[in-house]
Every structure is written in structure tokens, then in C-alpha cells.
Amino acid sequence: MDFYLTALLQGLCFSGVALGIYISMKIFNIPDITTDGSYTLGAAVTAVMLTHHQPTYVALPVVTIAGAAAGALTGLIHTKLKINALLAGILVMTALYSVYLALMGRSNLPLINVSSLFNVVNISTDPNYNTFWILLIFVTIITTCIGYLLKTDFGLAMRATGNSETMIRSLGVNTDRMKITGLALANALTAISGYLICQQQGFTDISMGIGIVIIGLGSVIIAETFINWLRIASVWPSLLLVLGGAIIFQFVLAITLDIGVDPIFLKAVTAVFVLLIVSLPRLSFRNKA
């Protein structure tokens, strides 16, 4: 039971990554690889601040700003220098490696005897359930904020930028600014995931962001599959399904380990699982045709 509870906790921690990928890839149609770097940047900033005895509520806005700055930089390179979004993300992600290595001063930074988000408030006497309730409240607040943002006029302009850039530009909207803002928001959410996972697992490692975009992409594809099947057009159900996709993804990995698959093959299993998710809708469509 604790094994699957850990998967649930990790799914909630990765919800920021899933929401970030949803914004960048599904709303703006931008393949943003900055995710790998901003996730680790968020974890690195959190670890450094907590080990320097800064409270967790002070670390959160700093992490959010750091992630947003990384996303905005990618957006500026893409929109102002007219460089392919994928390459812009790779450039920023590569540069960020030096940034969080300089911040940490070493490759791994453990959180030993430091106050974290999960021991500041005691909702339950069981540490795992206490973490669960704090994460649930935290993720609910973030998702609610994103949902309301996407329902505002500004949010509608963001969504229209991804759907029909030419049309929304003809209405006087600065699409470059929208893209920069969207990538900043997406990477701020990703950095918040790093903030959460750092405290949940108790350490930050410079290699922890490798392949994190696959987790976010897999979560979003799972959500998109259900969105298409159920023909959902509303923002709120879509966001909830993205969160559900993040949790389902972690449960699949947990089941993989539980049935005895060697952990060294976990990345391969992750890649195959994402491939299956991507392929199934296309295969089913082809069979119907």
C-alpha cells in the first residue's frame, strides 16, 4: 500500500510538469525542452535556500520566478531571434546546467535536518498521509489559479494564439508577448514541481531532470486521450484530466516495479509506455478507416 501511496505522491508532485507541458505543447503548440532544465533549477534553488535555513514559503516565489525567467528566456530567443523553439529550449536547458551546478556547488545536495513544506504543517500523524494532504491542497490551489487564468480574457488570448496565431494577431494581440508569457508560466509550473519533489524525496541531484519532459508529455497524452474520447472542450475537466494523467503515469511505473521488472529498465519501460499511448489513438483510427 505504501508503495502505491508513494506513486500517488510523486504523481501529485509532477502535476506542475504536466500542467506546464499542457500549456506549452497543447495551448501554444511549442515543443519546449526547457522543461528538463527548469525542473532541476527549481529543485536546486529550493535545496540551496532550505539548507541556508530560509523558510519554504520564501523559497516558493523565488523558485517560481527562476522557472519563469528560464521559460521567458526561451521565449525571447524563439520570438525575437527567430530561432526554432526546440533549439531555443535546448540552448537554455544546456546553459541552465551550469547555473544550478554553480548554485549547488556540487552534483548532489541532501536536505538533512531542514524544515520543509511537509513538516511545517501537521494535518496527519502519518508522514506519508500528511504529505498527501499538503500536496493535494497545494496542487488544488495551483490548478484553480491556472483554470481561472485560462478563463480570463488574457487566457482566451493565450489559447487563441495557439489555435490561430494569424487571426489573433489581426485583432491587435502581440503574439510574441503571449508566447513569452506562456513559456514563462509553463516553466514556472515545472520549477514548482522541482520545488515539491526536492522536498518530497529529500535531496536534489543535477541529473534529476533528465527525461522529465517524457513524464510530462506522457501525462498530457494520457489526458488528451480521455479528452478526445469524452469530447471535452471545457478548461476545468481538461486540467483535471492532466492531473489524473500525471498520477496514472506514476502508477504505471509503480506497477512495473511491483511486478518485478529490474529498475535499470525503468527508463526503457517509460519510453515504451509513452510510445504506446501515442500510437493507440492512431492505430484505432486506422482500424476504423
User: pLDDT tens for residues 215-243?
Assistant: 888 888 888 888 888 888 788 898 999 99
Q: Which three cell numbers stand for residue 287?
A: 482500424
Q: Is residue 219 part of a domain?
A: no
Q: Are 23 and 182 in contact (CB under 8 A)?
A: yes
Residue 226: inside a domain, yes or no? no
Q: Where residue 285 falls among pLDDT bands split at 50, 70, 90?
A: very low
User: What are 158-176's pLDDT values in tens digits?
Assistant: 888 888 878 888 878 888 8
pLDDT given for residue 1 in this prediction: 52
DSSP percent split of the chain into helix, strand, coil, nearest 5: 80, 0, 20
pLDDT in tens, 48-62: 999 998 999 999 999
Residue 31: count of CB within 10 angstroms of its CB = 15
Check if the beta carbon of residue 190 is closer than 8 Å to that of residue 11.
no
Q: What pLDDT, on the 0 to 100 scale, is given for residue 106?
A: 87
Question: Domains in the chain: how many in total?
Answer: 1
Does residue 141 belong to any structural domain of this protein? yes
* Contacts (Cβ under 8 Å, ≥6 apart) of 80: 176
Beta-carbon contacts of 174 under 8 Å, excluding residues fewer than 6 positions away, are none
Mean pLDDT, rounded, of the chain: 87
Task: List all residues 6 or more positions away from 31 whose beta carbon is below 8 Å from its beta carbon.
Answer: 24, 25, 85, 86, 89
Global pTM value: 0.91
CB 266 within 8 A of CB 253: yes
pLDDT of 281 higher than 50: yes
Span 37-47, average pLDDT: 94
**Which structural domain range is residue 116 located in?**
2-207
How many other CB atoms are there within 10 angstroms of residue 274's CB atom? Answer: 18
Does position 264 have pLDDT exceeding 90, yes or no? no
Flag whether 12 is in a domain: yes
